[in-house]
């Protein structure tokens, strides 16, 4: 019952009715101006002061009205030197345009026929450098909140007529513009249709950020793993588009989504492509190792110290015993205390302004850590492990997956406490099974591991040189898979040739 | 043939649930390699002594032959075991045989599950809380089986990828062992070798599940070579494991060892870790889980095909049976008996495959002449 009522009210909010009712509603707001223009051409000018550009009003519209006596909207339309002027009597359209900042001209106040003059202005931030996905070399532009500016950033990188932009508006109240971008002829229609279909099915009142969409169109919304890759880098998005992926941009969000994606893509950084391939490969492998370390290290500590202390070699055992001798807690409690401390520091650091946040990080790390060891709450060895695993989780190039790693750790710790290494294996099997089942826009998320795609492994755990990247990844099922003619690229010269 | 019967035999699996022929390699291999490999060395050496690796080769060859027969049966019928039984023996006898097959696969599942828990009890946690551990393990298995055949195939792949590195550990016993243990080669009679081959063949059980998952293979004709590669790979792994156990243990010593492969992990030593068998057993979970999942999936698939019951319910019922049975079998002797019974029935099932082939051939001939 409540749901129906709510839906009814929403519809009422959206319904325009007549121009008179619209004006009545708008006049309740202080920034809506209705101005009776006198002089040679008497008419009524109305607009939202906060949305319309006063420059256009003053320099193009008002001078046009002063010139001669114009007695119909058509005449005025000819006299004003602004493009895209239209005449309409549809209340729905007028409402939409007024709210965007258009200037409305009527001959008399009760006329239904109106002239709509585009004069909107938008306040927003300038294009700045990427802060979350920073890279030392490479382009330094990041998306901003304005959809049009973001499209500009993409179009200038992909000057192709095939770059297609489909736009729809989502959110019953916010009417947010959402753009689906892809390269026609490379991106597979099945993927495009899936994305469009899911976007059309979204039924929600607001659309604040692209992360809303990421959660709403995800194949499995109960999974801790993000199934759409979000990026703030136009260059990274260009790469994705060229590979045949689809991008989703939301007006008001500085993060674009690309899909379909795979788990390994979350661990590939833009830097990997700006460096020679062998360096990139080594660093990518280090990053993957760091992720495994971050997820498993504390649970292995719990498993080994609680259940399998026979595994520790004699020499190492002395070190561990001396550091744990005064600790009153079992390993599991010790680990949970420290992990929670680190999570606390992280949350505090993320909520506080940058400068205070840094201080908290340093103070927290050094002071609390040392104090905990001195107080005999945790051991030195564990402090090192936890600090390293926290550090390791920051090496992920995509912010979202680092949050997943934070969370995924805890089931492993519980498994380790219950059945040692076998418990860790069981949790691992659970997550591997989950990942195998997971899909991103209908394509397997765990590729290229399963389904095993040998050709896609060239840019998964390792990155081969560009002249070996002859094919686009199969994962996206591109319509054109060839990137370059392999015969020229891979020809090897004999000695002295 | 009436229409109703046609619809039952002509089973259709949606395209997106099929797996490529290549994965049959992993399916066959992962199903054959279970808990048996952890202890088989002792048993095969009882008859043929340290010539038993030859028996393994004989057994492997026999399995290749049986696999060829299985493919022959399947290729001519384009169905699975349920439809083949129905075509060959009619609705009632065929149905009965299918149920027997389903229960046999369930018994295999139980054997693997219970034996693995026994390994954990013996080597890792003597005080293991069996009812709680089994509950957690079966919940995990239920979740995985509910993910469907594609997920299980993925687990088979992962299991091979994770278990393969364990082969490197065989290097440690080679260093410590004596190669002369294996010589002289062939000082046993053919009868002894064959009797050992009969024991060895039990390690290859599991490939017969192909009779159930065959309709899930895309272009199944092409999967034939991958299935044979899978069996060949299993044979190689068995032979390597056997020879290395023979190199390390003397013949009399081996007779006293219960879990030869695990004992060999025990001698592995790195500067940062000792007692490697804990890691070995934990990793072995990834070998056992696909094994259990695939068998449970196959066992529950048969009633679904026969009576159109939802497979989810069947998996639930079978999990419950497994759970109760696992808890009831709590003595070492019972588990040994369970293994013996499963092996005996498994051997009969292997014998049954050629019989089924002959019956089906005869039936096809009769139908053709009509």
Which pLDDT score is estimated for A68?
67
Give the total residue count for chain B: 370
Take residue A375 and report the two structure tokens written for it: 């107080």
Q: What is the mean pLDDT of chain B?
A: 89
Taking a C-beta distance cutoff of 8 angstroms, is the pair A25, A94 a contact?
no
Percent of chain A at pLDDT > 70 equals: 94
List of chain B residues whose C-beta atoms are within 8 Å of the C-beta of residue A425? 282-283, 285-286
Q: Using pLDDT thresholds of 50, 70 and 90, give the confidence band for residue A3.
A: very low
Residue to test with chain B: of A315, A436, A443, A446, most B Cβ within 10 A: A436
**Residues B162-192 pLDDT 10s:** 888 888 888 888 888 888 877 777 778 888 8
Residue to test with chain B: of A429, A434, A438, most B Cβ within 10 A: A429
Report the pLDDT averaged over residues B64-78. 89
Range of A57-66, A320-329, B137-146, B333-342 with top mean pLDDT:
B137-146
Distance between alpha carbon A464 and the CA centroid of its chain, in Å? 27
Q: How wide is the angle at C-alpha A151 spanned by C-alphas A148 and A155, nearest 5°?
A: 140
Report the pLDDT averaged over residues B12-32. 89
Percent of chain A at pLDDT > 90 equals: 41
Q: Using pLDDT thresholds of 50, 70 and 90, give the confidence band for residue B239.
A: very high
What is the C-alpha to C-alpha distance for residues A263 and A400, in angstroms, rounded to an integer? 12
Residue A355 has pLDDT above 60, yes or no: yes
Lowest mean pLDDT among A262-276, B1-15, B86-100, B336-350: B1-15
Which pLDDT score is estimated for A17?
67
| Better pLDDT: A170 or B188 | A170
Which pLDDT score is estimated for A467?
82
Phi, psi torsion values for B61, nearest 5 degrees:
-65, -40
Take residue B191 and report the two structure tokens written for it: 């009868």
| Burial of B280: CB neighbours in 10 Å, binned 0-12, 13-18, 19+ | buried
**Residues A447-476 pLDDT 10s:** 888 888 888 888 888 888 888 888 888 888
DSSP designation for A306 = H
Which pLDDT score is estimated for B50?
84
Q: How far is CA A40 from CA A70, A71, A105, in A?
A: 8, 9, 15
DSSP three-state, residue A48: strand
What is the C-alpha to C-alpha distance for residues A332 and A304, in angstroms, rounded to an integer? 11
Q: Using pLDDT thresholds of 50, 70 and 90, give the confidence band for residue A486.
A: low
Provide the pairing of β-strand A229-231 with A256-259: antiparallel
- DSSP H or E segment with residue A36: strand A32-37
Q: Using pLDDT thresholds of 50, 70 and 90, give the confidence band for residue A491.
A: low
List of chain A residues whose C-beta atoms are within 8 Å of the C-beta of residue B155? 429, 432-433, 436
Q: Using pLDDT thresholds of 50, 70 and 90, give the confidence band for residue A78.
A: confident
List of chain A residues whose C-beta atoms are within 8 Å of the C-beta of residue B262? none
Please name which of B248, B284, B19, B282 lies closest in space to residue B164, comparing C-alpha atoms.
B284
**Residues B100-136 pLDDT 10s:** 999 999 999 999 999 999 999 999 999 999 999 999 9
Domain positions in chain A: 2-117, 147-261, 273-443
Taking a C-beta distance cutoff of 8 angstroms, is the pair B241, B261 a contact?
yes
Phi, psi torsion values for A162, nearest 5 degrees:
-75, -15
Peptide bond preceding A448 in cis form (omega within 30 of 0): yes
Residue B288 has pLDDT above 80, yes or no: yes
Each as own residue / partner, the long-range contacts of residues A427-430 (CB below 8 Å, 24 or more positions apart, any chain) are: A427/A299, A428/B286, A429/B140, A429/B144, A429/B155, A429/B285, A429/B286, A429/B289, A430/B140, A430/B143
Taking a C-beta distance cutoff of 8 angstroms, is the pair B155, B303 a contact?
no
Q: Using pLDDT thresholds of 50, 70 and 90, give the confidence band for residue B7.
A: very low
Please name which of B158, B150, B144, B145 lies closest in space to residue B16, comparing C-alpha atoms.
B150
Peptide bond preceding B71 in cis form (omega within 30 of 0): no
Of the candidates B144, B148, B283, which has its C-beta nearest A425's C-beta?
Answer: B283
Which pLDDT score is estimated for A257?
95
Which pLDDT score is estimated for A489?
52
**Residues B194-211 pLDDT 10s:** 888 888 888 899 899 999
Lowest mean pLDDT among A37-41, B6-10, B70-74, B152-156: B6-10
Please name which of A428, A190, A207, A384 lies closest in space to residue B144, comparing C-alpha atoms.
A428
**Residues A302-340 pLDDT 10s:** 999 999 988 998 888 888 888 888 888 999 999 998 888
Q: What is the mean pLDDT of chain A?
A: 87
* E-strand stretches of A208-344: 229-231, 246-250, 256-259
Q: Using pLDDT thresholds of 50, 70 and 90, give the confidence band for residue A481.
A: confident
CATH code of the domain occupying B17-353: 1.20.1740.10
Percent of chain B at pLDDT > 90 equals: 55
Under an 8 A CB cutoff, do B144 and A422 touch?
Answer: no
Residue to test with chain B: of A419, A435, A445, A477, most B Cβ within 10 A: A419
Q: Which residue matches tokens 């019972």?
A: B334
Of the candidates B151, B275, B282, which has its C-beta nearest A436's C-beta?
Answer: B151
Which pLDDT score is estimated for A4?
46
Which pLDDT score is estimated for B4?
42
Q: Using pLDDT thresholds of 50, 70 and 90, give the confidence band for residue B6.
A: very low
């Amino acid at each position: 019952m409540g749901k129906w009522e709510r839906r009814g009210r929403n519809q009422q909010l959206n319904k325009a009715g007549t121009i008179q009712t619209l004006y009545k509603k708008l006049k309740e707001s202080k920034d809506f101006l209705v101005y009776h223009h006198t002089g040679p051409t008497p008419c009524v000018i109305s607009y939202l002061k906060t949305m319309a550009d006063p420059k256009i009003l003053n320099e193009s519209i008002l001078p046009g009205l002063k010139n001669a006596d114009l007695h119909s909207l058509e005449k005025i339309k000819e006299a004003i030197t602004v493009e895209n002027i239209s005449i309409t009597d549809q209340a729905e359209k007028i409402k939409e345009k007024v709210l965007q900042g258009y200037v409305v001209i009527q001959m008399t106040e009760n006329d239904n026929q109106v002239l709509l003059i585009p004069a909107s202005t938008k306040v927003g931030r300038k294009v700045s450098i990427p802060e979350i996905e920073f890279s030392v070399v490479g382009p330094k532009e990041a998306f901003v909140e304005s959809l049009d500016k973001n499209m500009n950033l993409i179009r200038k990188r992909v000057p192709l007529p095939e770059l297609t932009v489909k736009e729809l508006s989502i959110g019953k109240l916010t009417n947010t513009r959402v753009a689906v971008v892809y390269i026609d002829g490379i991106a597979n229609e099945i993927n495009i249709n899936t994305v469009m279909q899911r976007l059309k099915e979204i039924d929600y009142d607001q659309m604040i950020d692209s992360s809303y969409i990421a959660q709403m169109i995800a194949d499995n919304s109960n999974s801790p793993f993000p199934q759409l890759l979000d990026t703030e880098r136009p260059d990274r998005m260009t790469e994705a588009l060229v590979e045949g992926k689809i991008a989703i941009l939301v007006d008001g969000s500085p993060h674009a989504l690309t899909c379909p994606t795979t788990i390994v893509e979350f661990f590939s950084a833009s830097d990997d492509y700006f460096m020679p391939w062998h360096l990139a490969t080594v660093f990518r492998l280090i990053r993957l190792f760091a992720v495994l370390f971050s997820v498993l290290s504390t649970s292995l500590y719990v498993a080994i110290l609680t259940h399998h202390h026979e595994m520790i070699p004699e020499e190492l055992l002395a070190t561990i015993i001396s550091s744990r001798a005064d600790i009153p807690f079992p390993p599991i409690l010790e680990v949970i205390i420290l992990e929670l401390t680190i999570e606390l520091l992280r949350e505090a650091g993320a909520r506080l302004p940058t400068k205070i946040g840094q201080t908290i990080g340093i103070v927290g790390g050094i002071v609390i850590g040392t104090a905990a060891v001195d107080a005999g709450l945790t051991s030195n060895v564990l402090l090192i492990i936890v600090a390293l695993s926290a550090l390791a989780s920051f090496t992920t190039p995509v912010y979202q997956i680092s949050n997943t790693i934070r969370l995924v750790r805890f089931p492993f710790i519980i498994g380790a406490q219950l059945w040692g290494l076998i418990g860790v294996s069981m949790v691992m099997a659970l997550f591997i099974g989950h990942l195998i089942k997971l899909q991103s826009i209908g394509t397997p998320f765990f590729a290229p591991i399963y389904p095993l795609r040998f050709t896609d492994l060239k840019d998964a755990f390792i990155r081969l040189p560009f002249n070996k990247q002859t094919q686009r990844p199969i994962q996206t099922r591109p319509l054109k898979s060839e990137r370059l003619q392999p015969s020229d690229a891979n020809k090897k010269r004999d000695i002295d040739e | 043939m009436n229409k109703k019967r046609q619809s039952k035999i002509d089973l259709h699996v949606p395209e997106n649930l099929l797996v490529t022929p290549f994965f049959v390699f992993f399916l066959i291999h992962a199903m054959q390699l279970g808990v048996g490999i952890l202890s088989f060395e002792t048993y095969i050496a009882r008859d043929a002594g340290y010539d038993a690796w030859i028996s393994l080769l004989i057994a492997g060859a026999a399995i290749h032959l049986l696999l060829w027969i299985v493919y022959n049966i399947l290729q001519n019928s384009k169905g699975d075991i349920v439809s083949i039984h129905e075509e060959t023996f009619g609705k009632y006898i065929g149905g009965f045989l299918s149920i027997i097959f389903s229960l046999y696969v369930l018994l295999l599942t139980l054997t693997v599950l219970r034996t693995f828990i026994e390994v954990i009890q013996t080597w890792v946690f003597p005080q293991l809380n069996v009812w709680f551990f089994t509950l957690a393990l079966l919940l995990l298995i239920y979740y995985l089986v509910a993910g469907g055949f594609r997920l299980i195939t993925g687990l088979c792949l992962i299991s091979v990828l994770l278990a393969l590195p364990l082969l490197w550990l065989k290097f440690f016993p080679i260093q410590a062992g004596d190669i002369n243990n294996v010589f002289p080669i062939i000082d046993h009679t053919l009868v002894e070798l064959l009797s050992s081959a009969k024991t060895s063949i039990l390690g290859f059980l599991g490939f017969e599940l192909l009779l159930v998952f065959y309709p899930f293979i895309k272009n199944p004709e092409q999967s034939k070579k991958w299935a044979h590669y899978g069996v060949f790979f299993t044979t190689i792994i068995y032979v390597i494991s056997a020879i290395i156990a023979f190199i390390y243990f003397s013949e009399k010593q081996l007779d006293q060892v219960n879990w030869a492969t695990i004992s060999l992990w025990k001698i592995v030593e790195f500067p940062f870790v000792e007692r490697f068998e804990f890691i070995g057993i934990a990793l072995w979970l990834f070998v056992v889980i696909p094994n259990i999942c695939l068998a449970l999936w196959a066992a529950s698939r048969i009633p679904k095909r026969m009576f159109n019951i939802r497979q989810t319910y069947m998996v639930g019922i079978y999990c419950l049976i497994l759970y109760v049975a696992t808890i009831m079998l709590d003595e070492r002797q019972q588990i040994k008996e369970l293994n013996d019974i499963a092996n005996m029935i498994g051997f009969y099932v292997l014998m049954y495959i050629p019989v089924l082939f002959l019956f089906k051939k005869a039936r096809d001939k009769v139908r053709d002449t009509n």
